[in-house]
Structure 1
Amino acid sequence: MNAPAPLLEVTGLTVAIDAPGGTTYPVHDVSLRVANGEVVGVVGESGCGKSTLLRAVADVLPRGFSPVAGEVRLDGHRVERRSGAVAMIFQDPMTGLNPVMTVGEHVTEVPRRRDGLGRSQARDLAIHLLSEVGIEDAEERLGAYPHQLSGGLRQRVLIAAALSGNPELLLCDEPTTALDVTVQARFIALLRRIVADRGIGILYVTHDLPLLGTMCDRINVMYAGQVIERGSAMDVLRDPAHPYTAALLAAAPRLGAREQALASIPGQPPALTEGLTGCRFAPRCPHVADGCEAARGLGAPGEGHESGCVRVAELAPLTGRGAR
């Protein structure tokens, strides 16, 4: 018996940017999957293509960006921006919310315009959704404007507005960046509860690899436009299978390590032009060898822990693999 189709399936996706200086490819041959009731993370340095990937999945790429290969399917069908099956939460809640619209107007816009809900029904739905995302005085908040809310409350309003369209897939583009650690923890717990209650899938983008361990079932590590490692959150965080992932983990701050200098990754990512070959991390990798010119990004997802590093087996002791 065949396994059920994933909720989201991205296959060989490549996105191009045409500019006077030439064409660049911020996303190149990326494949990933998200199942119903699953939180899948995408992590990497700024500029690695993760936010562009998210916008391509939502079909809301900026002007000048265009998908040139691959496809994105939701429940086996191509994603269209007006389908309502996909909702997105952006990084900064102050730019994600219209400053001249009230909380109630944000949350009821989709059900009123798309579904034709009347004013009274839409108001009741808004109160219900605001309560669902943990806003206790939901009815009183309907008339508030974004500037009257804290960062945590604004982010909850964004979630309520996203849920108002009853999406199957929720896309999160670094939504905790502007939140302090305490609010961040509550936000993550809220997302996990929504997944459990509604059975939706979440694709969560961040540059914070340790953060994903608290909320994700699986993790995709991106570098220079490609997925170079993926697996369960436990496998990727405890047993990194690519030197880049190991370097990201080594660069993460740790409690009790104040006197130790933070590790860094020397060098810069490559220009994402056409014709790049071999492992894109090789120029920055301390373990580079002759075989690295044959390495590629990962293709279609398998069932286990996968790495694009051709030296993964011999480098296990150096990257920390098998230490736990």
Structure 2
Amino acid sequence: MKSFVRSAIFATTALGVAAPALADVNIYSYRQPELIQPLLDAFTEETGIKTNVAFLNKGLVERLQAEGDRSPADIILTVDISRLAEAVAGEVTQAVESDVLAAHIPADFRDPGNEWFGVTTRARIVYASKERVDPAEVTTYEDLADPKWKGRICTRSGTHSYTLALVAAVLKHHGEEYTKTWLEGVKANLARKPQGNDRAQVKAIWAGECDISLGNTYYMGKMLADEEQKEWANSVNVLFPVFEGGGTHVNVSGIAMTKSAPNREDALKLMEFLTSATAQEIYAEVNYEYPVVAGTEASDLVKGWGTFGPDNVNLMELAQLRAAALKLVEEVDFDG
């Protein structure tokens, strides 16, 4: 208990972020607590193990490094492969050997060293105006650089992690020279300077500022659940482009055990629970994402957007290309 209090005081005063209250499993999360609370409630109901979440919008790895062995955190929950890879590279996670996790999670969606595990996936798709875009026009990511889209594309910043993951995938498929030319082509097709989040791009389509945008699939569900944003969502189609010779770009939300993990046994139970059919369906329903475990299905709403074949590139390979992707984005002054 004294160790936990010391760690909590250090985390609050030195890093300026509130620490979680003592629980059986303590979680540092880049995901808003309300997005994962239904899962944690189901876990507690099934096991009797209590959980608590400290939400961070940045600096998770730095916080764990500063806390060291005194950290109260058992688990980290985050989105995007780059953040999971960053945690591994920062040496704040540990390998987890679990027959349950190995059996449930496909190899492409977990760390080769078993330090992180994907629990849901989302596709990086195209939102397209129902009025101004024939769905048959949108086929590949490569096609986004075609001059036919000049003045018709909206997107968020090129330096955002979601964009960098897609650029890394272009690098993986085509190499540096092609990717730089592709970025220049996409930039030339922008209707406005990159800005805002994925939902802001759909609003811009609704307002007639552009015709297509890049976005994650789950934002459609979030917009449809919002009275104001529902009109934006209903103005677009969800379309699934692919890479030439590949599939649709996907990313993950994932989980990892911290290096210090004071409650390792209970933390492992939570990790395994998140790959159960019950948890996968709750996760998919609440967050409008796709389950990673075979035999579990997305919600009816998500299934209604259509089917796609995920690109068969190991996500850690994309994480390793992130720095190269950022360099190219900056070279072409994508956000300029």
* TM-score bucket of the superposed structures, by smaller chain: under 0.3
Q: Which has the higher contact order (CA 8 A, sep 6+)?
A: 2
Tell me the TM-score normalised to structure 1 length.
Answer: 0.28
Decide which structure has greater strand share.
1
Tell me the TM-score normalised to structure 2 length.
Answer: 0.27
Decide which structure has greater helix share.
2
